[in-house]
């Protein structure tokens, strides 16, 4: 039976300003510039300081933003709203100076050149256009090329692409015709493009080499008939099966390793992606300081003309309905501009507060750049140092970098678990990983160290770590097991 009833409950809801701040906080220095540009386009009340219409920065005042946005009011509600005071906007109660993002003074701002580039899909399409024998074949080839992943592989089943062609561009085809067109694509440059697996990719490249070369013939035989043994490095089994010497097998392996496992990247001419650091570490008088990198961010101001329009409304003794509707629109835009400037300012302060806490916590590393100086540190540690929420620290650390004398480093690098030594001292897991990495790099490649041996090495250095933990750290560093590290 359905019943009606009243129930009281407490719910925590974020205000629009809080939501906006959270979204801005997780953006890095490149994305925040794009976000500011987007806001400048969408909100005419928000301007750059260089704009002639920007309000002058001649007063120091405090922010006074209403909790409830007028965007929730209709025009009729707004006209009837007697509490609205135009003076709140025209008397500069909101700081017209806005927020100055750049700390670099008159330093020359260098712009990076725009690089014209083409993706490998476009390069392949240009090649295929010259060999397509019919409009239908061109359409099928275009569909196949567009389906290739960025590394050059075709991972979508041909059956699904047949259906795509039928539903999207009304072309009826079959698997045999699809395979014929795909075979043509696989003959394009670079070799290996259009393969459906790594095995096929490598074989395509070998078939483009001299087929009279015994080395090539044996390499094809290994990849075609003994691929699993090859990937698992069962070298003794391969030498016996193929009746070749260990030296000959070594030459074959060298030939195969020179092949390109990701042919799509060979002709990917997209512009190089540079990491733009969000913070810059500088040393001044023996002390380390954090600067927020905001070179390309504009200074934000409130529109002068929008303020003057509101002044005109205040001076009008009997404003028309059109004037009142205009004021409603202006009030919404000014509120939005205020909130955005406040959110940017709050983001700026939160980033610096968090990064300075990380600097103080990991000062030993910043002084020498030695990973073994890193202290165990988790999000909760910085949250307690800054009196911020753990989720806020997580958003700051995500996808952000700091420029140091030791390179550009992601903030996530400084966070790690703690491990207790036999002396009871807690050290960072990064220190343990570095020891593991050094041991593996120094191992004899023909007899790589198993996890049990690595565990013993750590134990000799005072780290009592289980074998499964050693395996976990090794996998986190993308280092394969000993058998797969073996070389001849």
Please list the residues that pair with 407 across neighbouring strands: 404
Please tell me the predicted confidence (pLDDT) of residue 45: 87
CATH code of residue 431: 1.10.10.60
Same structural domain, 370 and 446 = no
377: exposed, middle or buried (C-beta count within 10 Å: 0-12, 13-18, 19+)?
buried
Least confident window among 55-59, 238-242, 277-281, 435-439: 55-59
Buried/exposed 214-240: b ≥16 CB within 10 Å, e otherwise: eebebbbebbeeeeeebeebbbeebbe
Work out how many domains the chain is built from and give that number: 3
Q: Of the candidates 415, 449, 467, which is a domain's last residue?
A: 415
Same domain? 281 vs 360: yes
Convert the pLDDT of each residue in 352-368 to its tens digit.
999 999 999 999 889 88
Pairing of strands 279-284, 401-404: parallel
pLDDT of residue 472: 87
User: What CA–CA distance (Å, rounded) separates 77 from 74?
Assistant: 5
Same domain as 409, residue 279: yes
For residues 130 and 258, state if they share a domain.
yes
**Whether the predicted pLDDT of 59 surpasses 60:** no
What burial class does residue 156 get, using C-beta atoms within 10 Å of its C-beta: 0-12 exposed, 13-18 middle, 19+ buried?
A: middle
Please check whether residue 48 is in contact with residue 300, taking contact to mean a CB–CB distance below 8 angstroms.
yes
> At 12, is the pLDDT very low, low, confident or very high (cuts 50, 70, 90)?
low
Whether 406 and 422 map to the same domain: the answer is no
Question: Is residue 10 situated within a structural domain?
Answer: no
The answer as to whether 93 is a domain residue is: yes
Given the structure tokens 């390309």, which residue do they identify? 296
Among 382, 415, 448, give the residue marking a domain's end. 415
pLDDT at 297: 62
Do 247 and 139 share a structural domain?
yes
Query: Are 204 and 295 members of one domain?
Result: no
pLDDT of amino acid 218:
93
Is 103 or 380 the better-scoring residue by pLDDT? Answer: 380
My answer on whether 157 and 87 are in the same domain is: no
Tens of pLDDT, residue by residue over 88-137, are 444 444 444 445 444 444 334 444 443 445 577 888 999 999 999 999 99
Among 216, 243, 267, residue at a domain's last position: 267
Q: Are 152 and 254 found together in one domain?
A: yes
* Cβ–Cβ < 8 Å for 334, 369: no
CA pair distance 90, 94, nearest whole angstrom: 9
| Alpha carbon distances (Å) from 196 to 41, 201, 208, 336 | 45, 7, 17, 51
The contacts found for 342-347 with CB under 8 angstroms, 24 or more apart, are 342/17, 342/63, 342/65, 343/17, 343/20, 343/21, 343/24, 344/24, 344/36, 344/99, 344/101, 344/300, 345/99, 346/21, 347/21, 347/24, 347/25, 347/32
Q: Is residue 46 part of a domain?
A: yes
Within a domain: 349: yes
Please check whether residue 471 lies inside any domain of the structure.
yes
Read off the pLDDT band of 424 (50, 70, 90).
Answer: low
Q: 3 in a domain, yes or no?
A: no
Same domain, 125 and 223: yes
Whole-number average pLDDT of the chain: 80
Find the domain containing 142 and state its range.
Answer: 120-267
Residue 5 falls inside a structural domain? no
């Amino acid at each position: 039976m359905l019943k009606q009833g009243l129930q009281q409950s407490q719910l925590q809801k974020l205000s629009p300003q809080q939501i906006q701040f959270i979204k801005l906080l997780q953006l890095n220095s490149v994305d925040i510039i794009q976000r500011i540009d987007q806001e400048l386009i969408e909100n005419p009340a928000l301007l750059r300081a260089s704009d002639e219409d920007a309000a002058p920065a001649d007063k120091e005042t405090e922010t006074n933003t209403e909790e409830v946005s007028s965007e929730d009011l209709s025009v009729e509600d707004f006209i009837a709203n007697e509490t609205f005071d135009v003076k709140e906007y025209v008397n500069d109660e909101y700081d017209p100076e806005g927020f100055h993002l750049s700390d670099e003074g008159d330093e020359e701002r260098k712009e990076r050149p725009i690089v014209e580039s083409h993706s490998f899909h476009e390069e392949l399409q240009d090649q295929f256009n010259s060999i397509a024998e019919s409009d239908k074949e061109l359409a099928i080839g275009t569909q196949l090329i567009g389906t290739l992943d960025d590394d050059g592989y075709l991972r979508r089943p041909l059956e699904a692409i047949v259906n795509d062609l039928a539903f999207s561009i009304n072309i009826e085809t079959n698997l045999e015709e699809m395979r014929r067109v795909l075979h043509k694509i696989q003959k394009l440059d670079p070799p290996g493009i259009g393969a459906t697996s790594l095995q096929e990719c490598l074989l395509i490249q070998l078939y483009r080499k001299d087929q009279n070369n015994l080395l090539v013939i044996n390499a094809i035989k290994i990849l075609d008939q003994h691929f699993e043994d090859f990937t698992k490095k069962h070298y003794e089994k391969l030498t016996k099966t193929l009746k070749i010497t260990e030296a000959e097998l070594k030459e074959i392996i060298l030939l195969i390793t020179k092949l390109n496992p990701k042919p799509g990247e060979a002709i990917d001419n997209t512009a190089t992606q540079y990491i733009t650091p969000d913070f810059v570490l500088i040393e001044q008088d023996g002390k380390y300081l954090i600067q927020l990198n905001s070179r390309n961010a504009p200074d934000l101001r409130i529109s002068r003309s929008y303020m003057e329009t509101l002044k005109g409304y205040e001076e009008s003794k009997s404003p028309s309905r059109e004037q009142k509707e205009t004021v409603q629109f202006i009030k919404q835009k000014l509120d939005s501009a205020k909130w955005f400037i406040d959110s940017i300012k709050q983001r700026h302060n939160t980033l610096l507060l968090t990064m300075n806490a990380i600097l103080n916590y990991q000062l030993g590393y910043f002084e020498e750049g030695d990973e073994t100086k890193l202290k165990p540190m988790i999000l909760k540690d910085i949250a307690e140092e800054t009196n911020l929420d753990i989720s806020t620290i997580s958003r700051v650390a995500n996808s952000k970098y700091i420029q140091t004398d030791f390179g550009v480093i992601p903030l996530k690098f400084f966070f790690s678990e703690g491990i207790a030594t036999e002396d009871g001292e807690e050290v960072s897991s990064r220190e343990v990983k570095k020891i593991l990495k050094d041991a593996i790099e120094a191992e004899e490649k023909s007899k790589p160290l198993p996890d049990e041996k690595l565990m013993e090495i750590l134990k000799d250095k005072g780290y009592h770590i289980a074998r499964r933990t050693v395996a976990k750290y090794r996998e986190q560093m993308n280092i394969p097991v000993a058998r797969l590290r073996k070389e001849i």
